[in-house]
């Protein structure tokens, strides 16, 4: 079993709250982590029709069986649980009584803010990071293998074909979650929208253009983007706002939580096809930024990730806040970085004089340029 980096933070959170809620994509390992944290405790899966029916029929009687605590999986399917838990946790203030899991972030956050505010801690479990695979001796020195395989634990544990697995994932999970969140009747348009999102990976999001290409209005696009974000398929990177005099681009950039899924949607089914794909640079950038996001989430760090671009075309792929430091990271898929790749970072450093900069690339070169600038190969991604 692959040890999850978030385990220590999860154990600590259990000592601070009466319940914890673990969210994340379907099949990211939430149930496995919960059972590891709560060995021997009762387990309830609300995707089991019989258990969901019993809970819906009489939630008070159902929860009375778990007065001493339990794991409640996919809890967003039974909204009445939250109100019942509120009363139970108010009567018993002991820490670490319940673990709630869910793969629908919007529904869970809504219920927690209404019923369990101050009573439940909140954690995100994303797919496996390169650092976790490295620790488990499963990591490869082939970046394309990691990009095309993605990070879902079942694929790595069972050595499955990622392209085949992703096809089932889309059909079984995404469409089912869509029906929970939105009454989408035009699935062909929605599927076209998802495929277009894959082509936007690593790019600034133009909602109006998406609406034209899909054939729906902009409000529908906003709603559908919300569905994909709530289901942990995509996330957005907001632009860096500061006191630069130049006009800053204000639209977010779009990324996928898993590059294996992204490759499937782009119909990339082999490492050879990946290497030849005309969007390889954007896919590499997506993998890199998502790995850094995983590292931060696993360490209990939320937010603090941006990109920079102004109207003159100056840009830095990623800006991260770490403690009191600001770090600019330029990402290049090339195996042989050269001086031209530092152009955006040099511009950035003129205006952010106390910041540090990293050029992260697809090769093996590791170097320190000066006390503020370094070159890091992709193999060092676990250190960011």
Q: What is the pLDDT of residues 152-162, one digit of tens each?
A: 999 999 999 99
Instruction: Classify residue 378 as exposed, middle or buried by CB count within 10 Å of its CB (0-12, 13-18, 19+).
Output: buried
Q: What mean pLDDT comes out for the span 111-129?
A: 89
Predicted confidence at residue 152, as pLDDT, reads 97
Predicted confidence at residue 231, as pLDDT, reads 87
Those residues whose C-beta lies under 8 Å from the C-beta of residue 80, and which sit 6 or more positions away, are 55, 56, 59
Predicted confidence at residue 348, as pLDDT, reads 86
Residue 104 has pLDDT above 60, yes or no: yes
Predicted confidence at residue 181, as pLDDT, reads 66
**What 3-state DSSP class applies to 59?**
helix
Predicted confidence at residue 245, as pLDDT, reads 52
Of 15 and 77, more confident: 15
Q: Report pLDDT digits (tens) over 56-75.
A: 999 999 999 999 999 999 99
Global pTM?
0.93
Q: What mean pLDDT comes out for the span 219-243?
A: 89
Q: Where are the domains of the chain?
A: 7-124, 130-236+254-284
CATH of 7-124, one of 3.40.50.880, 3.30.110.40, 1.10.10.10, 3.40.50.300: 3.40.50.300
Q: Report pLDDT digits (tens) over 316-327.
A: 999 999 888 899
Q: Report pLDDT digits (tens) over 270-306.
A: 999 999 999 999 999 999 999 999 999 999 898 899 9
Question: Which of 104, 117, 116, 89 lies closest to 30, judged by CA?
Answer: 104
224: number of Cβ within 10 Å: 23
Predicted confidence at residue 246, as pLDDT, reads 57
Return d(Cα 73, Cα 178) in angstroms, integer: 18
Give Cα separations from 156 to 1, 115, 146, 161, 220 (angstroms): 10, 37, 10, 9, 36
């Amino acid at each position: 079993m692959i040890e999850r980096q978030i385990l220590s933070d999860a154990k600590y959170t259990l000592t601070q709250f009466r319940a914890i809620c673990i969210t994340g994509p379907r099949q990211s390992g939430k149930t496995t982590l919960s059972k590891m944290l709560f060995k021997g405790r009762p387990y309830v899966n609300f995707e089991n029709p019989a258990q969901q029916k019993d809970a819906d029929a009489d939630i008070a009687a159902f929860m009375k069986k778990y007065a001493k605590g339990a794991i409640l999986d996919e809890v967003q399917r039974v909204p009445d649980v939250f109100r019942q838990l509120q009363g139970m946790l108010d009567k018993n203030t002991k820490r670490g009584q319940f673990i709630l899991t869910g793969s629908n972030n919007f529904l869970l956050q809504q219920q927690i803010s209404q019923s369990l505010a101050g009573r439940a801690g909140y954690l995100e479990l994303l797919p496996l990071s390169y650092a976790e695979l490295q620790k488990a001796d499963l990591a490869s020195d082939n970046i394309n293998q990691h990009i095309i395989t993605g990070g879902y634990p079942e694929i790595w544990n069972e050595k499955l074909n990622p392209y085949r697995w992703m096809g089932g994932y889309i059909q079984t999970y995404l469409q089912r979650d869509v029906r929970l969140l939105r009454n989408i009747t035009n699935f062909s348009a929605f599927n076209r929208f998802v495929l277009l999102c894959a082509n936007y990976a690593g790019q600034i999001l133009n909602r109006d253009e998406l609406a034209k290409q899909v054939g729906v209005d902009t409000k529908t696009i906003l709603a559908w983007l919300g569905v994909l974000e709530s289901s942990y398929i995509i996330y957005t990177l907001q632009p860096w706002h500061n006191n630069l005099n130049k006009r800053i681009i204000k639209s977010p950039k779009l990324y996928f939580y898993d590059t294996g899924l992204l490759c499937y949607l782009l119909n990339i089914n082999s490492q050879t096809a990946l290497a030849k794909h005309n969007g390889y640079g954007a896919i590499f950038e997506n993998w890199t930024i998502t790995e850094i996001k995983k590292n931060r989430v696993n360490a209990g760090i939320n937010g603090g990730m941006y990109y920079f671009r102004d109207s003159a075309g100056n840009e830095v792929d990623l800006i991260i806040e770490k403690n009191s430091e600001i770090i600019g990271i330029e990402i290049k898929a090339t195996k042989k970085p050269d001086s031209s790749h530092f152009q955006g970072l040099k511009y950035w450093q003129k205006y952010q004089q106390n910041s540090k900069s990293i050029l992260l690339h697809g090769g093996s070169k590791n170097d320190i340029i000066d006390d503020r600038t370094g070159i890091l190969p992709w193999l060092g991604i676990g250190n960011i």
